[in-house]
Amino acid sequence: MKNRKLLAADFGASSGRMVLGEWDGQRIKTTELHRFPNEPVHAAGTLYWDVLRLFHELKQGIMKAGEFDSISVDTWGVDFALLDRYGALLQNPVHYRDSRTAGMMENLFADIPKERLYEITGNQFMEINTLYQLRAIQVHRPHLLESTDKLLMIPDFFTYLLSGTKLTECSAASTSQLLDAASRSWSEEIIGAAGFPRSLFSEVIPSGTIAGPLLPALREELGVHGAQVIAGAGHDTQCAMSAAPTNHRDFAFISSGTWSLMGTELSAPITDATAFSANMNNECGAENKVSFLKNITGLWLIQESRRQWRREGKAYSYQDLEMLARADDGPTCFVDVDDPRFAPSGDLPGRIREYCRGTGQPVPEDTGAVCRCIYRSLALKYRKTLQQLRHCTGQSYDRLYVVGGGAKDGYLCQVTADACGIPVQAGPAEATVMGNLGIQLMALGELKNLSELRSVVLASANTREYLPGGMDNRYEQFGKYEEQGEAYGTVTHQHT
């Protein structure tokens, strides 16, 4: 082993950062070099990602890093860039929260049955998935597909801009609902049934593949030499999964951020009727592992509520909101955090009040009551998902590992332990970056496997334990309101 300097580009759904990792053969020391917002842009009725601005910020981080051995980019899943035959970007990638996918799931099911889709891909059914975004283009903008030479998932697009190599890394591809979960290659059956051009899709490669050296023009522009570009685990959830602070074989985890990704690690996908009924997700991970998980709306509810309060002239920090939630002692109310009404941006506190009013619950009027409702609803959704996870895998899971930004939220961790009835081990908050850097070390031959990587994380990161208290008596109440919310949603949608 030798000392290495590695650069992690970590782009989340609300912000991005460039982090330098220094490896001394035993531990990874991290230094944040550059942080920047990742704000979507509304233009002419469409919600876009400003990816060229993100690439500009990525280059600023490279210039601050000095010389380094390698770089890898991780991002959110499902979204993609379209390139023409000259390798130029055809349009800014569209944000997964854009409304273009409305009705596209049912449209697609006319070509291939829902059950067959799950049998092939093992992917959770969400309208934001790449498959339904492509169907929306096919229906509304077919000329765009006719002009497209290659589709690259967002992390692969940045790998291409850095190295000039067009490839598809497995973890990013596995968020698309177009990947065969067993063969880890594009599903010819789905692509054919949907009528997409097969030429759009480049070869799927394993996580931790070296894409090539940094482009000569970039080396000259940015003043660096010799760095390798590594297609690590492009989907940030799989980076976080790789850095779970445990060497136990069977463990339950939550990667907690804008989304909560809750699940476990398996050696093979589960696509049977039980998993289909629970709408569980199978994703490719590092070392050919499978992340068997559920996508749950996470701290988006707090983030977007905070933006709404800011629009109203109330500037709260996240710490302020956590304290207000802790201090609130009003009547308990719950929402289904995955209700479609909470997906778009806008007045989330108003929608939460509307939901509670429509389901006959106490209405949370002030800021603390809204935040308490969100936190407790998340915790009880985690409990429900843990039960589904146990049912699908046959494992008991006596501890829950919470990594990512949500690990810093002590109130959320505590109510999660209370609701799930098992200890919560929180941290590291920087799991995504640690996983990104660790997978680079695996690609460079400095670490042998995930077990070694997780041992490094255990040696390098601090964690905190939260023991369960008493929230079991709230679960039955939550289930009742969740069912009422589904019925209320049906009635609401019939009148809109």
Give pLDDT tens digits along the chain (496 positions).
679 999 999 999 889 999 999 999 999 999 999 999 999 999 999 999 999 999 999 999 999 999 999 999 999 999 999 999 999 999 999 999 999 999 999 999 999 999 999 999 999 999 999 999 999 999 999 999 999 999 999 999 999 999 999 999 999 999 999 999 999 999 999 999 999 999 999 999 999 999 999 999 999 999 998 899 999 999 999 999 999 999 888 999 999 999 999 999 999 999 999 999 999 999 999 999 999 999 999 999 999 999 999 999 999 999 999 999 999 999 999 999 999 999 988 999 999 999 999 999 999 999 999 999 999 999 999 999 999 999 999 999 999 999 999 999 999 999 999 999 999 999 999 999 999 999 999 999 999 999 999 999 998 888 999 999 866 555 555 555 555 555 554 333 332 2
Is the preceding omega at residue 344 within 30 degrees of 0, hence cis? no
* Active site residue ranges: 236
- With a CB cutoff of 8 Å and minimum separation 6, the contacts of 13 are 38, 76, 257, 258, 259, 300
Task: Measure the CA–CA gap between 107 and 93, rounded to whole angstroms.
Answer: 22
Task: Measure the CA–CA gap between 23 and 17, rounded to whole angstroms.
Answer: 19
- By three-state DSSP, how is residue 400 classified? strand
Name the packing angle between helices 348-358 and 475-494 (round to 10°): 100
Name the packing angle between helices 300-311 and 367-393 (round to 10°): 160
Helical (H) or strand (E) element with 29: strand 28-37
What pLDDT does 195 receive? 97
Task: Measure the CA–CA gap between 98 and 411, rounded to whole angstroms.
Answer: 31
CA nearest neighbour of 170 among 229, 235, 118: 235
Domain residue spans of the chain: 4-231, 244-427+463-496
Task: Measure the CA–CA gap between 133 and 470, rounded to whole angstroms.
Answer: 42
What pLDDT does 2 receive? 79
Q: Which residue's entry shows tokens 């979507």? A: 40
Residue 342 near residue 348 (C-beta atoms within 8 A): yes
Residue 101 near residue 343 (C-beta atoms within 8 A): no
Query: How large is the C-alpha radius of gyration of the chain?
Result: 22
Fold: same for 4-231 and 244-427+463-496: yes
4-231 falls under which CATH superfamily? ATPase, nucleotide binding domain (3.30.420.40)
What pLDDT does 485 receive? 52
Cross-sheet strand order for the sheet of 209-213: 28-37, 15-23, 4-11, 70-74, 228-231, 209-213
Residue 48 near residue 481 (C-beta atoms within 8 A): no
Task: Measure the CA–CA gap between 98 and 320, rounded to whole angstroms.
Answer: 30
Task: Measure the CA–CA gap between 198 and 138, rounded to whole angstroms.
Answer: 14
Other CB atoms within 10 Å distance of the CB of residue 25: 10
Distance of CA 322 to the CA centre of its chain: 22
Residue 122 near residue 282 (C-beta atoms within 8 A): yes
- CA 263 vs CA 129, 238, 253, 285, 290: distances in Å: 19, 11, 6, 13, 10
Report the greatest alpha carbon distance in the chain: 65
Residue 274 near residue 391 (C-beta atoms within 8 A): yes
What pLDDT does 472 receive? 52
Q: Which residues pair with 180 in a beta bridge?
A: 185
What pLDDT does 476 receive? 57
Pairing status of strand 209-213 against strand 228-231: antiparallel
Answering whether pTM is above 0.85, one says yes
Residue 136 near residue 104 (C-beta atoms within 8 A): yes
Record: fold of 244-427+463-496? Nucleotidyltransferase; domain 5 (3.30.420)
